[in-house]
Amino acid sequence: MSVAKRQQTATSGNYDPANASLPTFHDAVPGFQDGSDNPRSYLERCLEVIDAREPEVQAWVTINRDGARAAADAATDRFKAGRALSPIDGMPIGIKDLFMTKDMPTEMGSPLFKGNQTHADSALVYGLRLAGAVVLGKTVTTELGFSHPGPTRNPFDTNRTPGGSSSGSAAAIGAGMVPATIGSQVVGSVIRPASFCGNIAIKPTLGALNRGERAGGLSQSHVGVHAGSLKDMWAVAYQIAAKAGGDAGYPGLYGEEAPAEPRKPSHLVLLKTEGWDMLDGTTRAAFEQVLEQLRKQDVKVLTRADSPTIDACEAAIDDSLKLARDICCWELRWTLRNLAEKDESQMSESLKQRLALAEEMTLEDYRAALDRRERMRARFRALAPFADGCISLSSAGIAPPFDGSGSVGEPGITHQTGLPAFNAATSALGVPCVTLPLMGVNGMPVGVQLIGQAHRDQELTGTAAWMQENVKPVSL
């Protein structure tokens, strides 16, 4: 799609998943190999879209054009010499501004870190550079990756939020700026904004991708990948794991370098979560059409009514929003105390709410939350014999208004970037999720979420590939 055409359609709120166009990289590589194209030209095409869309979308904190051009030129030389480093050699990538970059500030969406220069790369960024990726810039995140929004707007309706906390990462894909970006998720920060912005994205198994150094040291923090295609998504995730491994104490991402072949599921569990009762009628009707297409192709969709084991899992993951809130508040309290002592006036009310909640907790409260999380995980593992995976929605409807008038809350916290009601459970479970942009609701994207058992990430992407080929996108 041309820059002008994308600019015209992306701001009008008339999203159609059947005709949506997302940027891809893998299909440009043959041109790099035969000399008809090159990574520098590809980068310049990305910059052209950024120049056209960035004034309204505001997805980027910093763009390192000179550094990116130098990296793209080096990749071009490698392709000419027949020595490409990896399938992502020359790929322009945006990095969520929670992760350190040696050549750009790491400001974490907070005025308290304005101009913060680390002069070092986080492990995942270092791994991407080793694979030849072009680290183009830093994408906007919410304050410390939590609830208070940055300036980024939804690329399909700039009156709406892109979601959070991977706001800029999701919006940059939806706006067609780059083929892949890095996000992260503690509660719903990859899958929900991907849903709002029409991305393909993965939140891998907990610890599968090395997050390196980041504020908080949160036990549910996952590195995720936003992309315009499953092939690019998997290629980026695989290269991070191959070059940087997983988090300390974790075995990293399992799977082969080649993308998974499409794999039809025989059974899927419909995991409703606490988000189901929050759905509007149109979103639910669109999702029911997706499920009906699966049933017509002999995919059995099981619900809690079909098995006491599924029912027990649903019961165990209910109220996951509060569970995730409590775990995160306790783990973040030292960071928040230090920031408050530095300058509390530079903290949002949302962050102050989290600090207040943390101060009310005891060690026994935290231990109880961890115990409940472990019981949830056991209940989810018990689903493995029943199905090839689970299916759910990626968000509780379309993106709410940017001005906060659609803000929703959980006990003690207000979310201006959308409520992660379909995401909190899977983050607590630490299992892999993939979202596909299969639905258009009232002219805006809503994703369908596939959920797998831990360490079966590549199998899940095979199911996602089959879904893309065999499920017709739904617009209502």
Query: Which three-class secondary structure state does DSSP give residue 316?
Result: helix
pLDDT digits (tens, 9 = 90+) for 26-46: 999 999 999 999 999 999 999
Residues 217-244 have a mean pLDDT of: 97
More reliable by pLDDT, 93 or 14:
93
Confidence band (pLDDT; 50, 70, 90) for 10? Answer: very low
Task: Region of 418 please: left (phi>0), alpha (psi -120 to 50) or beta.
Answer: left
Tokens matching residue 21:
């166009």
pLDDT digits (tens, 9 = 90+) for 311-330: 999 999 999 999 999 999 99
Q: What is the pLDDT of residue 413?
A: 74
| Model confidence at 22: pLDDT above 70 | yes
Q: What is the pLDDT of residue 407?
A: 72
φ, ψ of residue 96 to 5 degrees: the values are -55, 135
pTM of the prediction? Answer: 0.96
Query: Which three-class secondary structure state does DSSP give residue 38?
Result: coil
φ, ψ of residue 230 to 5 degrees: the values are -65, -35
- No. of H helices and E strands in the chain? 15, 14
Q: Are 401 and 161 in contact (CB under 8 A)?
A: yes
What percent of the chain stands above pLDDT 90? 91
| Model confidence at 309: pLDDT above 80 | yes
| Model confidence at 437: pLDDT above 70 | yes
Neighbouring-strand partners of residue 60: 139
Q: What is the pLDDT of residue 147?
A: 81
Q: Residue 392 and residue 380: Cα distance in Å, rounded?
A: 14
Query: Which three-class secondary structure state does DSSP give residue 320?
Result: helix
Of 4-18, 126-140, 349-363, 431-445, give the lowest mean pLDDT range. Answer: 4-18
Q: What is the pLDDT of residue 2?
A: 33
Q: Are 376 and 439 in contact (CB under 8 A)?
A: no
- Mean per-residue pLDDT of the chain: 94
Nearest Cα neighbor of 48 from 167, 178, 158 is 178
Q: Residue 393 and residue 280: Cα distance in Å, rounded?
A: 12
Q: Which residues contact 252 (CB under 8 A, 6 or more apart)?
A: 207, 208, 209, 210, 241, 245, 246
pLDDT digits (tens, 9 = 90+) for 336-367: 999 999 999 999 998 999 999 999 999 999 99
pLDDT digits (tens, 9 = 90+) for 241-256: 999 999 999 999 999 9
Q: Are 179 and 227 in contact (CB under 8 A)?
A: yes
Q: What is the pLDDT of residue 317?
A: 98
| Model confidence at 4: pLDDT above 80 | no
Is the C-alpha dihedral spanning 467, 472, 475, 476 positive or negative? negative
